[in-house]
Amino acid sequence: MQNEVLKAIQFRRSVFQANFTDEEVSREEIMTILEAANAAPTHKRTQPWRFVIFRNEGLLRLGDELARIYKSITPAEKYTEATEQNMAKKATQSNVAIAIVVNYTGDVPEWEEIAATACAVENMWLAAYSIGVGGYWATPGMINHIGPFLNLEPNQRCIGFFYLGKHQSEEREPVRNPIEDKIRWEE
């Protein structure tokens, strides 16, 4: 495929922590990814996306908080210490974790703010792919309880974490049903 934009759209994939190497994702690479996010479309220019970036010791604090939330919200009959430890470990298996936050402005319907923020995340994914960084968007149930830790304002909501890391995974084609199964022409 010769068009680099279309190639990035076709070959961008979730790359999970098990495939991350120990190589650092630099601050400059993170800023490149975030600048791409900032170019997302937004109705009335509300630019509702906000990001909290965790690196180094910040990842440890995030992991501890995810484990604490898991322990505090999980019913005793479903709680396991192994899962609590996994919650803490998951954050630190990445080089970078970015909390994805929607800043509801009230200027447009909430779904439009979510859609704009999702567009920003897709731009992050494409930018990361283009510079050899892997990532994925995780939406653990704990995000509904992490607002105080992130110092979110009443009009803000965390909608997930975008985990980033260098990797050496092979490109792979998407597994999708044919587009013809999903369209109807009205001519």
- Asked whether 100 and 117 are in contact (CB, 8 A), the reply is yes
pLDDT of residue 109: 97
pLDDT of residue 182: 94
pLDDT grade for 124, boundaries at 50, 70 and 90: very high
Q: How far apart are CA 137 and CA 76, in angstroms?
A: 28
pLDDT grade for 1, boundaries at 50, 70 and 90: low
Find, among 26, 3, 58, 1, the residue nearest to 164 by Cα.
26
Is pLDDT larger for residue 142 or for residue 59? 59
Please, what's the b/e burial string for 107-144 (b: 16 or more CB within 10 A of its CB; e: otherwise)?
ebeeebbebbbbbbbbbbbbbbbbeebbbbbbeeebbe
pLDDT of residue 45: 96
Which amino acid would we find at residue 72?
S
Q: How far apart are CA 89 and CA 54, in angstroms?
A: 14
Whether the per-residue pLDDT at 36 is higher than 90: the answer is yes
Is pLDDT larger for residue 18 or for residue 103? 103
- Asked whether 144 and 4 are in contact (CB, 8 A), the reply is no
Q: Average pLDDT over the chain, rounded to whole?
A: 94
Whether the per-residue pLDDT at 22 is higher than 70: the answer is yes
pLDDT of residue 90: 84
Structure tokens at 100: 């994805």
Percent of the chain at pLDDT above 70? 99
